[in-house]
């Protein structure tokens, strides 16, 4: 097959941009060269020749020689404008921006169709794990029943170090930021918003369902205390921030929350910045993919893979969205078993279907009960920072 030579225009030269530069240098088989890199801060010291850099986006967008725009900035609104303009000019686009893709999917699909130009974003979900193309190509049928796992590297790094190295939450969060794993606004990581965006992208490629991220429940790891960690230790659990979606007939459930994981479960051993994706399908049953979910080169390698795919005109066909999705709907009526740790008094017992266990001590109080996701998500007590919730797997 004849392969296209590509000239790239890159937006952003932060963690992922530098990672891409490094992997491109090593990947001799990929026929792609960087022509220009558009940056916001021209005075920042850069590790490569300054001839590459500009602050004028039109130097990239209006250059007919640049056939591919690689969008690697973290401002989702600015990223959307760049991607729209590039697609309107008929340029192919590679993006790593999960927030932009999860929130603007319907508009992006229209642009792809109208301007016949591909938009690829493998790096936006679980960095180095090739999950989107697997969902698109290998699972191009309706036999898939669930996709779940650890979709955020920073929080897995934080939890691993808190559990195995007894480090404090704030200390490890700082380390995750220094290593370039965390988002510029780390609230997106620690409150489970970043993995929720990834889940929304997975919902689209796994089942053909478009959901607004705001309608999906997320709960983070910022409230996990030593009391919670001790509870987990005593029961031989690990704690992981798990995003999951399930399909049952035409009903889809999906959310992201900290979850107790039994030590026998392989996900309990997916540590530090690694991510793990568990796929369940009618006949292949369970499969697990593990790989680095954050960091410059792992994420750069996923961007490189998209660039390489463009050399042979690959594009997502969105088959499930086009052919299968018509009746699907997101539901939040399922009942879950959760652990609730509270400080003094708890006012929400009536929200629970049943309470299985209760404990009180001067060090803290908890109970374990069963609750409908809808009630949990809409309760007022869940907003109290002194209350923590952890799901059972
Ligand atoms: N902040 C993200 C994470 C980066 O920690 O997973 C990769 O998407």
Residues lining ligand 1, judged by CB closer than 6 Å?
Answer: 127, 152-154, 181-183, 189, 194, 293-294
Distance 72 CA to ligand 1 centre (A): 13
- Which of 198, 240, 244, 247 is an active site residue? 198
Instruction: Give the domain extent around 309.
Output: 6-131+297-317
Q: Residue 389: inside a domain, yes or no?
A: no
Q: Residue 179: inside a domain, yes or no?
A: no
18, 47 Cβ separation under 8 angstroms: yes
pLDDT of residue 141: 84
Q: Tens place of pLDDT for every residue, the chain, 393 residues?
A: 667 789 999 999 999 999 999 999 999 999 999 999 999 999 999 999 999 999 999 999 999 999 999 999 999 999 999 999 999 999 999 999 999 999 999 999 999 999 999 999 999 999 999 999 999 999 988 899 999 999 999 999 999 999 999 999 999 999 999 999 999 999 999 999 999 999 999 999 999 999 999 999 999 999 999 999 999 999 999 999 999 999 999 999 999 999 999 999 999 999 999 999 999 999 989 999 999 999 999 999 999 999 999 999 999 999 999 887 678 999 999 999 999 999 989 999 999 999 999 999 999 999 999 999 999 999 999 999 999 999 999
Give the containing element (helix H, strand E) for 35. strand 32-38
pLDDT of residue 357: 98
Is 198 labeled as catalytic in the residue annotation? yes
368, 356 Cβ separation under 8 angstroms: yes
Whole-angstrom CA distances from 91 to 22, 98, 158 are 23, 20, 39
pLDDT of residue 37: 98
Q: Residue 186: inside a domain, yes or no?
A: no
- Pocket perturbation via mutation, ligand 1, pick of 17, 99, 152 by most ligand atoms within 8 A of CB: 152
The domain that holds 65 is classified in CATH as 3.40.50.720
Q: Residue 27: inside a domain, yes or no?
A: yes
Distance 152 CA to ligand 1 centre (A): 5
CB environment 312-336: b (16+ within 10 A), e (fewer): eebebebbbbeeebeebebebeebb
Strand partners, 290: 276
Q: Residue 350: inside a domain, yes or no?
A: no
Q: Residue 120: inside a domain, yes or no?
A: yes
Nearest 10 degrees: Cα torsion 278, 270, 203, 135? -60
224, 233 Cβ separation under 8 angstroms: no
Q: Residue 330: inside a domain, yes or no?
A: no
Structurally, the chain folds into a number of domains equal to 1
pLDDT of residue 1: 61
Residue 349 Cα to chain centre, angstroms: 33
Q: Residue 338: inside a domain, yes or no?
A: no
């Amino acid at each position: 097959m004849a392969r296209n030579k590509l000239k790239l225009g890159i937006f952003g030269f932060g963690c992922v941009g530098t990672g891409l530069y490094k992997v491109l240098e090593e990947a001799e088989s990929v026929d792609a060269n960087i022509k220009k890199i558009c940056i916001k801060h021209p005075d920042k010291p850069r590790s490569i020749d300054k001839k590459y850099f500009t602050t004028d986006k039109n130097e990239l967008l209006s250059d007919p020689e640049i056939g591919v725009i690689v969008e690697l900035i973290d401002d989702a609104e600015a990223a959307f404008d760049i991607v729209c303009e590039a697609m309107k000019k008929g340029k192919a686009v590679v993006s790593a921006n999960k927030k932009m893709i999860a929130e603007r999917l319907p508009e992006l699909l229209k642009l792809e169709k109208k301007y016949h130009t591909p938009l690829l974003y493998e790096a936006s979900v679980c960095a180095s794990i090739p999950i989107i193309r697997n969902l698109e190509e290998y699972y191009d049928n309706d036999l898939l029943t669930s996709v779940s796992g650890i979709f955020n590297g920073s929080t897995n790094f934080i939890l691993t170090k808190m559990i195995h190295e007894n480090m404090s939450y704030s200390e490890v969060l700082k380390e995750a930021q220094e290593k370039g794993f965390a988002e510029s606004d780390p609230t997106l990581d620690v409150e489970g918003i970043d993995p929720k965006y990834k889940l929304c992208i997975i919902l689209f490629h796994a089942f053909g369902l478009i959901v607004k991220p705001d309608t999906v429940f997320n709960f983070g790891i910022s409230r996990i205390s030593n009391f919670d960690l001790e509870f987990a230790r005593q029961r031989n659990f690990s704690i992981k921030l798990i995003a999951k979606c399930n399909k049952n007939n035409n009903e889809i459930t999906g959310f992201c929350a900290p979850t107790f994981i039994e030590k026998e479960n392989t996900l309990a051993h997916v540590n530090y910045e690694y991510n793990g994706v568990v796929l369940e399908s009618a006949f292949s049953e369970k499969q697990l993919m593990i790989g680095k979910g954050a960091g410059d080169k792992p994420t750069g390698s996923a961007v490189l893979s998209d660039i390489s795919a463009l050399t042979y005109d690959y594009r997502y066909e969105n088959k499930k969205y086009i052919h299968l999705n018509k009746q699907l709907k997101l539901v939040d009526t399922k009942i879950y078993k959760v652990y609730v740790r509270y400080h003094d008094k708890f006012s929400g017992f009536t929200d629970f279907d049943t309470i299985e266990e209760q404990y009180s001590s001067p060090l803290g109080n908890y109970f374990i009960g069963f609750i409908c996701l809808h009630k949990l998500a809409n309760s007022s007590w869940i907003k109290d920072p002194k209350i923590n919730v952890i799901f059972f797997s």
